[in-house]
Chains A and B, each alone.
Chain A
């Protein structure tokens, strides 16, 4: 059994190294391999769906940056929905609707309904060609919308995402680590999946989807359940997955950038990571359930990314589970620290050079990533596997009250 696990872990390591090596080759030497045809003359109408829950004034700032985009004013609108926040978010939305008349629609759910349902209801308020889903605390670059819609030149393109940076990279060690993780996730991992236009998860922080495709998937979103228990989280991964199953391409345009606030408190961070991991676990089950449908529809690389990679992660989780039996202090091993520091040093150099706004003050905090990675891989995976019958958004529940004008 142990040998089997070690073999799987070795295979996983080999595949990961090959994947990253190929990603680096594409990023540095052959960027066109991981890019799509863009047409910047495209100007479809865009509805920006902004679900909001306990965001406070951040949602107003977010709306303001969106409206500063260089996209034709008559071609896009913001539909902001308050999901019954317990703070003053609704008042900030109303203020935005007043300050930007005709361009911002402020809505409020009759009760807390979750992000999925909020998005669907909000989408019914518009008839634009493209639906752009964003997080309520996101701020945009000026060309973000144009970068996104330009990728829809190919009619086979179903979903386009962007990359997200951290607005608060130097708040504390937690946000510093997340800065690196976000860079790894969006600028490396997504690049590999971009290669075959089969990104398995376009993040809900910035997800542009053709309206008709969204409408096709909508019934499935509404009926998502885990043996009868409604599922409310991970709609971005779910939507992306079904877009792939319907034969569409999915893509992340790394030039379409936005920034979000990373959790700076451990409970908040834990809940966010837990939610993400749980949606990944759900997606793995969905993949195996519909595995036959993938064949011939989804690119083999997409199938690999949806099946093998998460499966080896589960094996890795098992490896961590049994590791204490052989070496309980393995996570304190100098090699763990050294590898973390080495990866951190490389990432720090790259991030500092290419993304100055993401430069962090103390790169040594990356050592912390090694420990978090173990906790994330083991405990969160196990917790996710065993709590699939439980849905909770989690990371935005803190009540913050700051009235507009204050």
Chain B
């Protein structure tokens, strides 16, 4: 068969196929351009769309939050433990300080009493000492004058003036007086010690003062410990409050919700569309971008804090906040956009 003979048929077939392909392609391109143009115009003007995001425990952000939350919670627990220890220390220090502070007046009183007693007895003893010394001196003089008594007694005994018994009696009396003198001297010396003790600061007194100083120092140190502990407790309590607040804030984020469950459906609400994002507001999903829509859930909660994502249509940076969605159809979370409040085109 000659190729030229069948060429018209081949051409006709190819041409028909080409035309079918071309028409379909052209209409597809045209439809694509129109849809893109209409879609762009729609999303540029719509105030009800939100961009759904699916969060799960395995998300990087969720994992980050889990790590940070655990670290924060550990810090809070450590701080609370530390505060407990500090409070115990504080109580002990306060008790100790109070006890020491009770001792201090007693010491002061004792010292004062002792000083008063010294002031009272010291001069009396000093006078008595002086008198005793004078007595001893007088006794000593008297005994010196009687130094030859022994010889006189012997002479009188020899002369028969006195009996032997009387002589012995007289000699014993003299010896006794001498002994008394010695006793008086001893008493005088002891009295001097007593007077010295009563009139001059004693080592005991100094020891007492030293102990008093130590006690006061210890009380001061305890005061410092108490102040420091108090400040530390205040600081740590503030820190605990802040960390608790941070944890509380974290618990208000969708990531926390994601931590608690396997999957959390949220949506980023652009600031331009924030008016519609209220708790309980109905959420719609559309079969064809923004037409043929049905309700698929409600907004469960709104979260504070700015979030960024990529604009689902224009691919630019999108700023807004997140809302948690309660979806009856979980697959709707996979849509590019959802609508809040009402259907975008009433159908």
Chain A positions within 8 Å of B, measured between CB atoms, are 225-229, 324, 326-329, 379, 382-383, 386-389
B19 within 8 A of A: yes
Chain B residues 277 to 326 lying within 8 A of chain A, measured CB to CB, are 313-316
Instruction: Indicate if the CB atoms of A329 and B315 lie closer than 8 Å.
Output: yes
* Least distance between A288 CB and chain B CB atoms (Å): 16
The interface bits of chain B over 4-46 (1 if a CB of A lies within 8 angstroms of the residue's CB, else 0) are: 0000101110110011011001100100000010001000000
A404-B25 Cα distance, complex, nearest whole Å: 47
A184-B251 Cα distance, complex, nearest whole Å: 63
Report chain B residues within 8 Å CB of A382. Answer: 25-26, 29
* Least distance between B301 CB and chain A CB atoms (Å): 32
Instruction: Indicate if the CB atoms of B12 and A228 lie closer than 8 Å.
Output: yes
Report chain B residues within 8 Å CB of A228. Answer: 8, 11-12, 15
10 nearest CB pairs, A to B: A228-B11, A386-B22, A227-B11, A227-B15, A227-B14, A327-B315, A386-B26, A386-B25, A328-B314, A329-B314
* A325 and chain B: residue at smallest CB distance: B315
Instruction: Indicate if the CB atoms of A328 and B315 lie closer than 8 Å.
Output: yes
* Least distance between A371 CB and chain B CB atoms (Å): 15
* Least distance between B305 CB and chain A CB atoms (Å): 27
User: Given A228-B12, A229-B15, A386-B22 in contact, is the A328-B29 Cβ separation under 8 Å?
Assistant: no
* Least distance between B333 CB and chain A CB atoms (Å): 21
9 A-B Cβ contacts within 8 A?
Answer: A226-B15, A227-B11, A228-B8, A327-B315, A379-B29, A382-B26, A386-B22, A386-B29, A388-B18
Instruction: Indicate if the CB atoms of A383 and B36 lie closer than 8 Å.
Output: no
Report chain A residues within 8 Å CB of B25. Answer: 382, 386
Report chain B residues within 8 Å CB of A227. Answer: 10-12, 14-15, 18
* A228 and chain B: residue at smallest CB distance: B11
A116-B338 Cα distance, complex, nearest whole Å: 57
Instruction: Indicate if the CB atoms of A383 and B26 lie closer than 8 Å.
Output: yes
Instruction: Indicate if the CB atoms of B316 and A329 lie closer than 8 Å.
Output: yes
Report chain B residues within 8 Å CB of A225. Answer: 11
Report chain B residues within 8 Å CB of A379. Answer: 29
A229-B16 Cα distance, complex, nearest whole Å: 11
Report chain B residues within 8 Å CB of A389. Answer: 15, 18-19, 22
Instruction: Indicate if the CB atoms of A387 and B315 lie closer than 8 Å.
Output: no
Residues of B within 8 A of A (CB-CB), count: 19
Indicate the member of A228, A229, A386 with the most B CB atoms within 10 Å. A386
Instruction: Indicate if the CB atoms of A324 and B36 lie closer than 8 Å.
Output: yes
The interface bits of chain B over 108-125 (1 if a CB of A lies within 8 angstroms of the residue's CB, else 0) are: 000000000000000000
Chain B positions within 8 Å of A, measured between CB atoms, are 8, 10-12, 14-15, 18-19, 21-22, 25-26, 29, 36, 40, 313-316
Report chain A residues within 8 Å CB of B8. Answer: 228
* B15 and chain A: residue at smallest CB distance: A227
* B25 and chain A: residue at smallest CB distance: A386
Report chain A residues within 8 Å CB of B36. Answer: 324, 328
Report chain B residues within 8 Å CB of A324. Answer: 36
* Least distance between B270 CB and chain A CB atoms (Å): 16
A277-B181 Cα distance, complex, nearest whole Å: 152
* B9 and chain A: residue at smallest CB distance: A228
A328-B37 Cα distance, complex, nearest whole Å: 10
Indicate the member of A227, A329, A379, A389 with the most B CB atoms within 10 Å. A227
A379-B314 Cα distance, complex, nearest whole Å: 20
A252-B127 Cα distance, complex, nearest whole Å: 147
* B12 and chain A: residue at smallest CB distance: A228
* Least distance between A287 CB and chain B CB atoms (Å): 19
A326-B316 Cα distance, complex, nearest whole Å: 10
Report chain A residues within 8 Å CB of B19. Answer: 389
* Least distance between A167 CB and chain B CB atoms (Å): 34
Tell me which of A226, A229, A326 contacts B315 (CB under 8 A).
Answer: A326
A383-B29 Cα distance, complex, nearest whole Å: 9
* Least distance between B143 CB and chain A CB atoms (Å): 132
* Least distance between B17 CB and chain A CB atoms (Å): 10
Report chain A residues within 8 Å CB of B22. Answer: 386-389
Q: Could you list 10 further interchain pairs (A-B, Cβ under 8 angstroms) beyond the known A386-B21, A388-B22? A: A226-B15, A227-B14, A228-B11, A324-B36, A329-B314, A382-B26, A386-B25, A386-B26, A389-B19, A389-B22
* Least distance between A332 CB and chain B CB atoms (Å): 10
Report chain A residues within 8 Å CB of B316. Answer: 329
Instruction: Indicate if the CB atoms of B11 and A328 lie closer than 8 Å.
Output: no
Report chain A residues within 8 Å CB of B26. Answer: 382-383, 386-387
* Least distance between B244 CB and chain A CB atoms (Å): 44
* Least distance between A18 CB and chain B CB atoms (Å): 32
A386-B20 Cα distance, complex, nearest whole Å: 10
Report chain B residues within 8 Å CB of A327. Answer: 315
* Least distance between A282 CB and chain B CB atoms (Å): 13
A111-B26 Cα distance, complex, nearest whole Å: 32
Report chain A residues within 8 Å CB of B314. Answer: 328-329
* Least distance between A383 CB and chain B CB atoms (Å): 7
* B39 and chain A: residue at smallest CB distance: A328
* Least distance between B127 CB and chain A CB atoms (Å): 114
* Least distance between A1 CB and chain B CB atoms (Å): 18
A332-B338 Cα distance, complex, nearest whole Å: 26
Indicate the member of B10, B21, B22, B25 with the most A CB atoms within 10 Å. B22
Tell me which of A328, A386, A387, A388 contacts B40 (CB under 8 A).
Answer: A328
* A326 and chain B: residue at smallest CB distance: B315
* Least distance between B32 CB and chain A CB atoms (Å): 9
Report chain A residues within 8 Å CB of B15. Answer: 226-229, 389
A2-B10 Cα distance, complex, nearest whole Å: 36
* Least distance between A376 CB and chain B CB atoms (Å): 15
* B43 and chain A: residue at smallest CB distance: A328
Report chain A residues within 8 Å CB of B14. Answer: 227
Report chain B residues within 8 Å CB of A329. Answer: 314-316
Report chain B residues within 8 Å CB of A226. Answer: 15
* Least distance between B214 CB and chain A CB atoms (Å): 80
A324-B40 Cα distance, complex, nearest whole Å: 11
A379-B26 Cα distance, complex, nearest whole Å: 10
A328-B8 Cα distance, complex, nearest whole Å: 44
* B29 and chain A: residue at smallest CB distance: A382
User: Given A386-B22, A386-B26, A389-B22 in contact, is the A328-B12 Cβ separation under 8 Å?
Assistant: no
Report chain B residues within 8 Å CB of A328. Answer: 36, 40, 313-315
A327-B314 Cα distance, complex, nearest whole Å: 6
Report chain B residues within 8 Å CB of A386. Answer: 21-22, 25-26, 29
Indicate the member of A327, A328, A382 with the most B CB atoms within 10 Å. A328
A46-B10 Cα distance, complex, nearest whole Å: 42
* Least distance between A369 CB and chain B CB atoms (Å): 21
* B14 and chain A: residue at smallest CB distance: A227
* Least distance between B39 CB and chain A CB atoms (Å): 9
* A383 and chain B: residue at smallest CB distance: B26
* Least distance between A127 CB and chain B CB atoms (Å): 33
* A382 and chain B: residue at smallest CB distance: B29
